Chain A
Amino acid sequence: MSKRIRIILLAIVFFIILFVVYLYKNTDSTAENVDKLVVVSPHPTEFVIPLVQEFETETGIKVEIISCGTSAAIQNVINDENIDVLWGGSLLAVGPYKDYFYAYKTPNRDAFIEQYQSVEDEITCFSNVPSVIMVNTDVIGDIKVEGYEDLLQEGLKGQIAFADPSKSSSSFEHLVNMLYAMGGGDPNKGWDYVEQFTNNLDGKLLESSSDVYKGVANGQFKVGLTFEEAAFTMLKNDKHISIIYMSEGVVSTPDGIYISKASSRIENAQKFVDFLTSKDAQRYMASDLGRRSVRIDVDASNLVIPFDDITSIEVDKYLVMTRKESWLESFMAIYGKEQDD
């Protein structure tokens, strides 16, 4: 090889090395070492954003939010070590999986309403969420809806938004609510109603709870079985809806915050739990986001009726948890039978 060619090759190699070094210097590989927290949540975005923003500015901890349905959220926590906190999901839905969560007793517990103080350490109650019927006042027409019984009307056939209870925890709450309310306190006697109700769904079973409240707000459905806060958010967004508390009785189960046992940022997760159960956060949530606080010292928003005015039903939490699977199976069996007919 002649000397000249060698010089040219050397020049090329030199330039390539220079280029690579330049690229390397300019390629951003610095994994930003920020204090963070990964939260999976079935809560609506509008609900999540202000609370997370406030938490971030207060603590400097950056929150990554993963949004999905309750069942998927639970599975995510179980399968993904990177997720630190499950925020949302009712006690009834998450309770059976409590082995996957980390026991933590927030100092704020002392200010909780009696019944929320005593739950297991793996579960921190966050808010109380009554099940409600949401009605689109524009499309409902003359049909009067005051409770579950009214949902069986012919005019509502195929007009009821209801999510698959095995996928949406709010739908499961409603199933439990129906069984207790229509069974007169005995859930085993409520299945006759469930059968009639399923029949009136006319084969429409939605995929997630957000499909329910959005469906009603958009006018796709006349009524929907959802939870108070979702209906409240729609109301706040100037949607033409009204919130109906079932005359037969309302089951309200608290939802919670759960720290994953696999979390590597337990300290941040604890700060998050403390923040969300603090008076400021609970007060903001109650007044602006339509959730009922678990604290004694926070009143409900004046946009919703006081808890005392609601016909409330107590459920046997442990019974519900143990029967969950069989009830879901029964529901799907009835629903499937209706489809076959």
Chain B
Amino acid sequence: MTKEVGSFQDNIRRTFIRYSLVPVAAIVILALVIFSFSWSYFQAHYNKQDNKAVSQELSRIINIYYEMVSDVEDSFLEKDNKVDQAEVFEILYRRTAEFGEIGNLIILTPAQQVLFTSKDHVPGYLTSHVYSNWGVWRNIRDNQGQTSTILYEKTLYITKGIYDGDELRGAIVYAVPGEVAQTAISGQSRYIIITDSNGWIYASNTKKLQDAYGRILSSYNTGTGFKKIDQSFYYSCKTVTGKGINVITINDITRSMWLIAILVGILTGIFVAIALITYRSTANSSIKYTKDIAKITDAFEAVQNGDFDVSLNIDSSKEFKIIGGDFNNMLNGLKDQIEQNKELAENAAFSQVKQLESQFNPHFLFNTLDNIRFMAKIDAKAADKMIVSLSGLLRYSIRDVREEVTVREDLSNIQYYLNILQIRFNKRFAYEMDVAEDIMDYLIPKLLLQPLMENAVKYGFAGQEKLTVKIRGYQKQEKLVFVCEDDGAGIEEDKLLEIQKNLSENADSSQHFGLYNIDRRIRLMYKGDYGLDITSKKDEGTTVRIVLPKHKEA
């Protein structure tokens, strides 16, 4: 797997984003979630709590009435199915004392005749025969001696049939005063609806949430939980009290949901804005903070491209300042080192050149001295001339340390060597000098031409009587060219290939060192496309060509 290595600036920027945006996003989301969580928890919790309170209160009230009805029944039975007005009123007042309203307690015979009423009026549906098995009376009969509740004509009745075995002896009906339930649900901030088991509303603190028939809308009457009804949100809680009464508490949380939605929207907006701003500003600040790194990178690149004159000037922070200073020191050290190396190399080249130019072929010396001895016997004058020439030549070769001499100078000193050759080979050796006058003042390596002569003589005489050597010198553009031609025996082909190979490889060889020396010296002294090449043909002669840069003494 290859992973692209990002730039330091990108990494810094990513770090900025990661350590600013991600924690902010995380905290915001976390805060929202926790907020929503606790908000909905408390909505549900307080709703349930209120619901429980109302249900318990209602149950408590209804229980009081149940006990009251039971007391009245006891009194009725004690008095042998007769009503003791005073006693019933006493029970009624005692039990309803806390509500401040006695309500309508009615005692009826099975034939629907009124035996007792605490309010001087009895609804027709309790006395009319039409209702003998309808509404309240049906409830009395259906519940055979059990106390029960029924909502009829918007009034909550607590009923009890007084039975002797299967025979109905009388009926106690108590109409719960409407204010009692209203008091229990008033002062609540949420909707509270009290219904019978079929959803018909008995008491409610709102006109909403019910249909045209006075029944709670069925969608609100389905248990406890969050609900979405017609674009509105609710939390509703339902308690079935077991006394035929249901308590439903409903929170309209639509507005809160809107607020939360707006809150989320605003937070998201702010977050997006922060994200955008951070994204933009990190681009700038990361460039700013990594400016020094960029400087360092540029400096290293410059050095790599060969520019040693750069310097790092950083003063933004201590660390980078140290790095910059160290870099500069290092670069200076490097520059000195390179300078030294160059000098050393030049020195080495110089000494090598010196060594090379001082190499005379010992054969030449031996031959010349042998000739001088011989000449001394037959021609003292010639011997004398040879000694003078040899000593001139030696003096020239060892004289002063200059590596370069003018063409004129070298030519005049080569004359010593030519003299020696002339005496030695007499008429067998001839030479021509054809050096252009306009190159006479240019500089060439000392003893450049002598080895050429020596080489021509060495190979040219093999098996033939006469040898003519032609030396030409001329300038060609910015170069000096010297050509040494002879009409000698030429060089064997194998030998020539070997020489050419050795020349091209810059290799050293003990033989032909004259030519190699010249080539090596030229290459060491002059950088560029300069040097020596040799061509030869068997029995036709050899040509050596030297190319040098054209330059004068400064």
Contact = CB atoms under 8 A, between A and B. Distances in A.
Interface stretch (A214-222, A258-266, A280-288): A280-288
Contact of A32 (B135, B214, B223): B223
A280 B40 contact: no
Interface string A34-62: 00000000000100111011101110001
B134 A27 contact: no
Contact of A16 (B33, B40, B200): B33
B40 A22 contact: yes
Contact of B22 (A5, A15, A65, A288): A5
Contacts of A56: 198, 200
A27 B226 contact: yes
B40 A23 contact: yes
B146 to A, nearest CB: 15
A71 B371 CA distance: 156
Nearest to A284: B134
A56 B152 CA distance: 12
B198 A62 contact: yes
B138 interface: yes
A19 interface: yes
B40 A12 contact: no
A59 B214 CA distance: 20
Contact of A67 (B130, B133, B212): B212
A22 B38 CA distance: 11
B222 A28 contact: yes
Contacts of A310: none
B130 A15 contact: no
A331 B152 CA distance: 45
B9 to A, nearest CB: 20
* Chain A interface helix/strand/loop/mixed: helix
Contact of B222 (A8, A16, A23, A31): A31
Contact of A28 (B18, B23, B153, B225): B225
B130 A283 contact: yes
Given A19-B33, A30-B222, A57-B198, A287 B213 contact: no
Contacts of A50: 153
A82 B192 CA distance: 30
Contact of A12 (B30, B139, B196, B200): B30
Contacts, number: 91
B37 interface: yes
Contacts of A23: 40, 226
Contacts of A15: 30, 33-34, 37
B26 A12 contact: yes
A27 B30 contact: no
Interface string B194-206: 0010111000000
Given A5-B22, A8-B23, A8-B26, A28 B198 contact: no
A29 B227 CA distance: 8
Contacts of B226: 23, 26-28
Contacts of B196: 57
A11 interface: yes
Given A8-B26, A12-B33, A54-B134, A26 B40 contact: yes
Contacts of A22: 37, 40-41
Interface in B127-179: 128, 130-131, 133-135, 138-139, 142, 150-153
A45 B213 contact: yes
Contacts of B34: 15
* Chain B interface helix/strand/loop/mixed: mixed
B244 to A, nearest CB: 9
A9 interface: yes
A277 to B, nearest CB: 15
A322 B29 CA distance: 71
A31 B227 CA distance: 12
Nearest to A279: B133
A192 interface: no
B130 A27 contact: no
B226 to A, nearest CB: 5
A18 interface: yes
Given A15-B30, A15-B34, A28 B138 contact: no
A49 B218 CA distance: 16
Contacts of A283: 130, 134
Interface string A184-226: 0000000000000000000000000000000000000000000
Nearest to B212: A45
A100 to B, nearest CB: 26
A64 interface: yes
Contacts of B131: 284
Contacts of A58: 138, 142
A28 B150 contact: no
29 contacts: A2-B18, A5-B22, A5-B26, A15-B37, A16-B33, A22-B40, A23-B226, A26-B44, A26-B224, A26-B226, A27-B225, A28-B226, A28-B227, A30-B222, A31-B222, A32-B222, A48-B213, A52-B213, A53-B151, A53-B152, A53-B198, A53-B200, A56-B198, A57-B196, A62-B198, A283-B130, A284-B130, A284-B134, A287-B128
Interface of B: 18, 22-23, 26, 29-30, 33-34, 36-37, 40-41, 44, 128, 130-131, 133-135, 138-139, 142, 150-153, 196, 198-200, 212-214, 218, 221-227, 235-236
5 closest cross-chain pairs (CB), A and B: A28-B225, A56-B198, A287-B130, A8-B26, A15-B33
